[in-house]
Chains A and B, each alone.
Chain A
Amino acid sequence: MGTFLASRVMTDIFGGLATGAVVALIALSLVIIWQSTHVLNFAQGAMGMFATFVGMNLVFHGLNYWLCLLLSVVTGMVLGGVTERVLIRPLYGKPEINPIVVMIGFLGVIEAVIASIWTTNITMLPSPFSQIYYQSAGHTILVSPFIFYEVALVAIVVIAIALLFRRTNLGLQMRAAALAPEVSRLLGVRVGRLLTLGWILSTGVGTLAAVVVSTGQVLAPTNMDGIFVSAFIAAAVGGLESPLGAIIAGLAIGLTEQFILDFWSTSIAPLSGVIVLVIGLSLRPQGLFTKHVSRRV
């Protein structure tokens, strides 16, 4: 068993799923925002990092990891809500390129703000769980307690979001507000609040991903940049409308990257997102921005 779990292929699968899970989580956060407000949030990674800096820096001042995690997520949610109200709301009904440009600009602003507030940070953010891989009969299995925690966290968040949207009245109203804002308002749904809630949820999820990505690393404003590109591609391949599509594509990108790293070349690995994109689009040509031009707020 140990030999099998430590085999080359299994090692790649474990490694790939661990990365892919986080990619999937960020992709899910992008889909939530796209579905509720038809905005591609290019600043999602940076916003998550800002919230991570606010919360997780306190770990270095002796605060409990979980308390800091909670603080980070709450900060991310507040930032998301305020961003929707202040930056995005005035742009509804305008061309879809406008919020994209605004969020790309915002991305630059956030990274600059982080760099100016938290100047010298060279300490690693400690992990609440061991990041040392399990050993079995002398073989290394590419799974650690931290990876279990990471995958479990992603699974819990994905299931919670799915239950919220599929099983609750609030989720029903959020879906309706995104699908048919005018009809929803005629039925008394307070659409504006639900759009803000969509951003709050999404940036909460994005922040969780940023904390996971930064754990065991030096906190840096650009921590999310690489993985964000993969997540963006995952969301696009999944069709932007489909949370499940985004999650599957996210896992696929993680796995592809790991296998390329192992069997091919380190220099090709960053292109794995592009490879999944090409394969995804040839299987599903309508993939990228799918159908609904008419569904707009």
Chain B
Amino acid sequence: MIRVENLSVSYGAVAALRDVTFEAPTGKITTVIGANGAGKTTLLRTISGLVKPRQGSIRLGEFELIGTATEEIARRGVGHVPEGRGVIEELTVEENLRLGALASKVDLAEGIARQFAQFPALESRRRNYAATLSGGERQMLAMARALIARPSVLLLDEPSLGLAPQVTADMMRTISELCASEDLTVILVEQNAKSALRIAHDAVVLHLGRVAAFGTAAEIAADESLRRYYLGVVT
């Protein structure tokens, strides 16, 4: 479980997050939706320790993440698939996967086999450089690389970006299944609010760095008045 409380982040004079509070429970998908610039990426980067907040608290169970180094947060079981996927193009598919496993106690061969079972398309490409992968394959690799360390939390920043609708649907289904089977705490940032709300249990709507609404995904989806915040028709 991740609990974010009174979190405020500024980039110089620009306030990116203001007093954000919500909770992402274990074994569930919490989606964070909002227009461009709402602060979604900033939220995930702050959880991972890449951005230092001005104030607030982020707890993983009882452990305070603020003030902890990014690599130690990762080692505590927070997997983060960053915006743009972060696949290392100069490394092969298998090297990318190995890299994901090294900081954990997972057995390398077993971990890689498990990810190939989950994402079969990667296996035939294992010796290819990640630069040669398609957008969908890259997304699979980025997910597999985060999952191989058996994280307890998975932060996903716009996994559907640039994917065809069918691939997006498959991706969403995979996320849903993994969340249930691995008992993951998933925080899913999405532009594609419709598909995110369909698979999520809870939803946070961010608007100009503030929480405009926090509730179950069903409630948020049903609230017509919220749509202007996440469909990009910001007034």
CB distance from A43 to the nearest CB of B (A): 28
What are some 5 contacts across the A-B interface (CB < 8 A)?
A182-B70, A187-B74, A188-B103, A189-B71, A189-B99
Is the C-beta of A220 less than 8 angstroms from some C-beta in chain B? no
Chain A residue contacts of B146, Cβ below 8 A = 187
Interface string of A183-196 (1 = CB under 8 A from B): 11111111100000
Q: Which of A183-214 contact B (CB under 8 A)?
A: 183-191
CB distance from B103 to the nearest CB of A (A): 3
Known: A172-B95, A179-B90. A187 touches B50 (CB 8 A): no
Q: Are B82 and A186 in contact (CB under 8 A)?
A: yes
Chain B residue contacts of A183, Cβ below 8 A = 82, 86, 88
Q: Are B71 and A176 in contact (CB under 8 A)?
A: no
Q: Are A185 and B70 in contact (CB under 8 A)?
A: yes
Chain B residue contacts of A175, Cβ below 8 A = 90-91
Interface string of A151-175 (1 = CB under 8 A from B): 0000000000000000001001101
Q: Are B99 and A179 in contact (CB under 8 A)?
A: no
Is the C-beta of B138 less than 8 angstroms from some C-beta in chain A? no
Is the C-beta of B48 less than 8 angstroms from some C-beta in chain A? yes
B interface, CB within 8 angstroms of A: 48, 50, 69-72, 74-75, 80, 82, 86, 88, 90-91, 95, 98-100, 102-104, 145-146, 149
Is the C-beta of A109 less than 8 angstroms from some C-beta in chain B? no
CB distance from A117 to the nearest CB of B (A): 39
Is the C-beta of A180 less than 8 angstroms from some C-beta in chain B? yes
Contact of A188 among B50, B86, B95, B104 (CB under 8 A): B104
Nearest 8 pairs between A and B by C-beta? A188-B103, A188-B74, A183-B86, A185-B70, A188-B75, A186-B80, A185-B71, A180-B88
A interface, CB within 8 angstroms of B: 169, 172-173, 175-176, 179-180, 182-191
Q: How many A-B residue pairs have CB under 8 A?
A: 63
Q: Are B98 and A187 in contact (CB under 8 A)?
A: no
Assembled-state Cα–Cα distance A108/B37 (Å): 49
Q: Are B86 and A189 in contact (CB under 8 A)?
A: no
Q: Are B103 and A187 in contact (CB under 8 A)?
A: yes
Beta-carbon nearest neighbor of B48 in chain A? A186
Assembled-state Cα–Cα distance A185/B50 (Å): 9
Chain B residue contacts of A190, Cβ below 8 A = 71, 103
Q: Are B86 and A172 in contact (CB under 8 A)?
A: no
Q: Are B99 and A173 in contact (CB under 8 A)?
A: yes
Chain B residue contacts of A173, Cβ below 8 A = 99, 102
Q: Are A186 and B98 in contact (CB under 8 A)?
A: no
Q: Are B48 and A188 in contact (CB under 8 A)?
A: no
Chain A residue contacts of B70, Cβ below 8 A = 182, 185-186
Known: A186-B70, A188-B71, A191-B71. A176 touches B48 (CB 8 A): no
Beta-carbon nearest neighbor of A176 in chain B? B99
Known pairs A179-B88, A190-B71 / 10 extra A-B pairs, C-beta < 8 Å: A173-B99, A176-B95, A179-B91, A182-B70, A182-B82, A187-B99, A187-B146, A188-B74, A188-B75, A188-B103
Q: Are B91 and A176 in contact (CB under 8 A)?
A: yes
Chain A residue contacts of B103, Cβ below 8 A = 187-190
Contact of A186 among B86, B90, B102 (CB under 8 A): B86
* Most interface-central of B70, B72, B88, B95 (chain A CB within 10 A): B70
Chain A residue contacts of B88, Cβ below 8 A = 176, 179-180, 183
Chain B residue contacts of A182, Cβ below 8 A = 50, 70, 82, 86
Beta-carbon nearest neighbor of A186 in chain B? B80
Chain A residue contacts of B75, Cβ below 8 A = 188
Contact of A169 among B48, B72, B102 (CB under 8 A): B102
* Most interface-central of B99, B100, B103 (chain A CB within 10 A): B99
Q: Are B74 and A186 in contact (CB under 8 A)?
A: yes
Chain B residue contacts of A179, Cβ below 8 A = 88, 90-91
CB distance from B133 to the nearest CB of A (A): 15
CB distance from A247 to the nearest CB of B (A): 19
CB distance from A189 to the nearest CB of B (A): 6
